[in-house]
Amino acid sequence: MKYTQLGRTGLKVSRLVLGTMNFGPQTDEAAGHAIMDAALDAGINFFDTANVYGWGENKGRTESIIGNWFAKGEGRRDKVVLATKVYGNMGADGPAWPNHDKLSAVNIRRAVDASLKRLQTDHIDVYQFHHVDRDTPFDEIWQAIDVLVQQGKILYVGSSNFPGYKIAQANEIAARRGGTIGLVSEQCLYNLAERRAEMEVIPAAQEYGLGVIPWSPLHGGLLGGVLKKEVQGGRRASGRAADALGDPATRAQIQSYEDLLDKHGVEPGEAALAWLLTRPGVTGPIVGPRTAEQLASAVRASELDLSEDLLAALDEIFPGPGPSPEAFAW
């Protein structure tokens, strides 16, 4: 496994990030523990979760599964760079109580203590804002974060689903206040089929020294060989992938993609991950394996070298928007 520094920090993280969103809803605790053990064995040290994972009445369940895994000992917690998120409502089902969500100082304080309890740890390495809070000023957010850093409860702060201008705003206010490092990472939707992040999000992240952590690297399975699986009688496309394939132009695009990779002898899902690892500013994509074989495939992708010819051909199929402002102006 290769490692890199997370943005402008000295923190070394693996080029693959283990996503845990499936732990609880789709992967039971025993299987989740086995996947985390296998990830460590493969050299993956960067684990990502969120307080709302588990969803619905099981919100927080995923963090609890990870916490129980840490409690097994044998250095598990010390080997992991742990990232979780705050924003979603964690109150009881039904009408939301005020101050049980978003990024007010009150909720940040409540949420971090609850996450630490579920995770059975005394600190979070990277505490991430899961979404922009349009109602809370960054002065208030950074004041709350400064306290948590001083208490040793969190070490670094990242964002998720932030537009480029909010990354700039957050870090400019952090710099003006002094005493805080500001955002060090951004999790964004980014893959071959969805490249809008290249316009402003990734340039902003690079300008301010944030590591980029793409989520949905296979675009909901669309880039994972979905047409080939249909032909072979395997699992059919569902959700976002099925909706996308309903468009004839998209289906033709994915067929060209799969035909190209078949010609080069490369598995589609592995190529999609390997492509992300070639992109400027990318720390590592989030992979959310449900099985040991899916994890093994992701590890193979991290070791895959795509030829210049193949990269150029992928750009022809999925050209992306191009840099801003030229993408939308002269």
What are the catalytic residues? 53
Which residues, at least 6 apart from 288, have a Cβ–Cβ distance to it below 8 Å? 18, 19, 20, 21, 22
DSSP state of 17: E
Which residues, at least 6 apart from 68, have a Cβ–Cβ distance to it below 8 Å? 29, 33, 120
Are the CB atoms for 9 and 26 separated by under 8 Å?
no
Is 29 exposed, middle or buried, given 0-12, 13-18 or 19+ CB atoms closer than 10 A?
Answer: middle
Q: b/e for 144-180, b at 16 or more Cβ within 10 A?
A: bbeebbeeebbbbbbbbbbbbebbbebbebbeeeeeb
Size of the chain, expressed as the number of residues it contains: 330
Among all chains, which residue has been given the structure tokens 């070791």?
303
Are the CB atoms for 188 and 201 separated by under 8 Å?
yes
Q: How far apart are CA 185 and CA 212, in angstroms?
A: 6
Radius of gyration of the chain, Cα coordinates, nearest whole angstrom: 20
Q: On the CB side of 293, how many CA atoms lie within 13 Å of its CA?
A: 1
Give the DSSP per-residue string, 195-239.
-GGGTTHHHHHHHTTPEEEEE-TTTTTTTSSHHHHHHTT-PPP-H
* Continuous segment of H or E residues that includes residue 18: strand 17-19
C-alpha closest to that of 320 among 270, 253, 220: 253
